[in-house]
Structure 1
């Protein structure tokens, strides 16, 4: 593929630092971009995604879908000279699986006694 067909992307992280820039084919999918971001993620960050599903990519104010290609996600800037496109990375860690608590059955539940007062 000719180099002029490649799209140059960098990814802006939550703290303002960048990952990249990298060159991608216009046929590369968003899920491929996410996998690359996870593999290139800086080790010194407090928040680290465990998988590509923990990441959302935003370009031109839109959250990008995994099945879309880079060509489908590019904003129409045909009249501008070729430059690096910055995409924003949002990390939403998947919730950790909490241990299921034991449900106390009605028979095992401690009996509570209630009293009431009536003033006449």
Structure 2
């Protein structure tokens, strides 16, 4: 594929640091981007995604769907020549990991304490 057809992307993390820029084909999917981000994630960060499903990508104020391609996610103003597109990365653990913790809390009996003092 000719180099001018490639799209240059960088990914802004929660602390303002960046991963990339990397060049991608316009046919690359959001899932592929997420896998690359997880593999290139800086080791010195406090928050680290365990898998690609823990990451949400945001471009032009929209959360990108895994099945979409880079070409479908580009905003119209990104058509400037040789521009680097910045996508924001949000790390959010999948809900299936958080549920067992909630069940433990729900199983604990709730006690209500009431006291009355008559003087």
| TM surpasses 0.5 | yes
Deviation at 1:76, TM superposition (A): 1.1
Structure 1 residues 61 and 35: alpha-carbon distance in aligned structure 2, compared to 1, 3 A threshold: same
Give the TM-score normalised by the residue count of structure 1. 0.78
Deviation at 1:82, TM superposition (A): 2.3
Per-residue Cα deviation, 1:67-106 (whole angstroms, up to 9, x for no partner): 000000001136623210000000002357579699999x
1:101 partner SS: helix
Structure 1 residues 113 and 71: alpha-carbon distance in aligned structure 2, compared to 1, 3 A threshold: closer
User: Is the contact between residue 78 and residue 85 of structure 2 (CA under 8 Å) also seen in structure 1?
Assistant: no
Q: How many residues align?
A: 119
Q: Mind listing any 5+ residue stretches in structure 1 that lack a counterpart?
A: none
Moved >6 Å (runs of 4+): 98-105, 107-120
Structure 1 residues 66 and 118: alpha-carbon distance in aligned structure 2, compared to 1, 3 A threshold: closer
Q: Mind listing any 5+ residue stretches in structure 2 that lack a counterpart?
A: none
Give the TM-score normalised by the residue count of structure 2. 0.79
Instruction: Point out the more displaced range, 31-40 or 81-90.
Output: 81-90
Task: Write 1 or 2 for the structure with the bigger share of helix.
Answer: 2
Instruction: Point out the more displaced range, 13-22 or 86-95.
Output: 86-95
